[in-house]
Chain A
Amino acid sequence: MKNSLTIAGKELAGYFLQPVAYVVMTVFLLLGGFFFFALLRYFEVTLTAYSAMQNPEVLQRLNLNERVIEPMLHNLAIVLVILVPAITMRSFAEEKRTGTYELLLTAPIRTGEIVAGKFIAAAAFMLIMIGLAGMFPLILVAFGNPEVGVMFSGYLGLAFLAVSFVAIGLFTSSLTQNQIIAAISCFGLLLLLFVISWPAQAGGGSLADLVRYLSLPEHFAQMVTGIIDTRDIVYFLSLIFVALFLTQRSVESARWR
């Protein structure tokens, strides 16, 4: 554990020694702010229009969460598909290329500790970034009366999603010494998780059920609408576990005879 934290500390500090982390954070928050502004503006327009119609029932149904926070979180999830590979692609690939991998693998630490350290750092970075994006709902709380619980659930979903992405990114980075290959294959896997259920849309049967279970948006959408279900949490946790397990195997494979 101590070794993992040593590596995590070095990694996290390393993110900020390079401009990449700042760029990723800026892009994420700028886009988040833009979505927030655009959706809020649209909400306001709709609200004014319905108010003019003097129909209190319709007005009741206009929900700040549904109209602003939900679509914003869905958009940010897509933005993460692109940004997470940019953060994780270096993790192993760069160490292999520059030769520092030799330092890590000859140090008296377990491969699991190396993987855990890198995972903690990248996950912490994502959580900081998503935490900063928490300012958008805070603005709503300051000026309106939204449902805090639902927003929290949505952000929790986004956090789970980002951390799962990180685990997958570490895995693809552990397979290669080329950062571009690491990023593109991570991007491909993440995108696949979004679309995997498409062929099962109409069909039934156990295969369709499986593919639907694997599909990430279904689990994420649940949390965004404010439902924290253990099934969805288990889905994200197993995604993280499987990806980290494969990463550990991939790093350890250098030691196989």
Chain B
Amino acid sequence: MIEVKNLTKAYGNFVAVKDVSFKAENGSILGFLGPNGAGKTTTMRIITGYMPATAGTVLIDGLDIFSQSLEARRKIGYLPESPPLYPDMRVEAYLRFVAKLRGVPRAKIESALEHVLEVCGLADMPHRICGQLSKGYRQRVGLAQALIHDPPVLVLDEPTIGLDPRQIHEIRGLIHHLAGNRTVVLSTHILPEVSQICDKVVIIADGQVVLEEYLKKLPAGTSLEDIFLNAITKERHDDAASAEETLEEVGAGHT
């Protein structure tokens, strides 16, 4: 369970995220959508405790990411925008290092390692050097790194970016398979991805949430694309647009 509460982040005078609130329930996959520069990465960095918010807070399974940071961070698996690999290390050594860092008990490291190598399709390349891997395999190692401690909460920043169609398909299947009773937040700007694997969608534009809704509750007959475009253009025209208004409008336009 991730609860984002009134998050605001300002870099000097520039406000990247304004009063963002949303909730991701246990066992659900939340798709975090938005155009480039909308504040997706900033929000995810705050959720994972990498940077502080100017105001507001985030609760990870009820633990505050600021005041109970260590406990909260223990629950998170995080794949940043670019996979955080050490280019000189071998895949296996790297994953072992992350496992120790994430507090996997010594006795369980080998089985955890085997498991993530298997799940992420890296079984053939534990001895490859991270820096020499292709983009797609780097992404897989990044995902393996986020999963190694079997976290209840997964935060994935554009997990399918830079992959070829077959890999995208595989990674999506993997995320879907992994979800189980985990809470997953993934950001993307590939819309079909959201309709395929997510339970809930949050659209953010210019640092503000313009829509938070369950996919199954979206008006029938409307494509996510329409909703997305409508939500973000609406945002440009009228700053005060609330999620409900946007939804109603889209729904109305198609019925």
Contact = CB atoms under 8 A, between A and B. Distances in A.
B100 A6 contact: yes
B105 to A, nearest CB: 11
B107 to A, nearest CB: 14
Contacts of A13: 93
Contacts, number: 74
Contacts of B82: 99
Interface stretch (B71-79, B190-198, B201-209, B229-237): B71-79
A93 B80 CA distance: 18
A106 interface: yes
Given A6-B101, A108-B74, A256-B52, A103 B88 contact: no
Interface string A104-137: 1111111000000000000000000000000000
B73 A14 contact: no
A107 B70 CA distance: 8
B52 A255 contact: yes
Nearest to A101: B84
Given A98-B87, A99-B80, A100-B84, A105 B97 contact: no
Interface residues of A, number: 26
A255 B46 CA distance: 10
A3 B74 CA distance: 13
A254 B49 CA distance: 10
Interface in B71-112: 71, 73-74, 76, 78, 80-89, 93, 97-98, 100-103
Given A14-B89, A110-B70, A102 B97 contact: no
A51 to B, nearest CB: 55
A175 B151 CA distance: 32
B174 interface: no
Most B C-beta atoms less than 10 A away, residue of A18, A100, A108, A109: A108
Given A14-B88, A14-B89, A17-B89, A103 B98 contact: yes
A32 to B, nearest CB: 28
B76 A106 contact: yes
A3 B52 contact: no
B85 A100 contact: yes
Most A C-beta atoms less than 10 A away, residue of B54, B86, B93, B102: B86
Interface in B154-185: none
B88 A108 contact: no
Contacts of B51: 254-255
Contacts of A14: 86, 88-89
A61 interface: no
B74 A6 contact: no
Interface string A197-231: 00000000000000000000000000000000000
Interface in A14-55: 14, 17-18
Nearest to A3: B101
A14 B138 CA distance: 19
Contacts of B189: none
A103 B145 contact: yes
Interface in A72-101: 98-101
A107 B103 CA distance: 9
Contacts of B76: 106
A110 B50 CA distance: 12
19 contacts: A7-B101, A10-B86, A13-B93, A17-B88, A18-B88, A99-B82, A99-B84, A100-B85, A101-B84, A102-B45, A102-B48, A102-B78, A102-B80, A103-B78, A107-B102, A108-B74, A109-B70, A254-B51, A257-B53
Given A99-B81, A101-B84, 10 more contacts: A2-B100, A3-B100, A6-B97, A98-B87, A103-B80, A107-B98, A108-B74, A110-B70, A254-B51, A256-B52
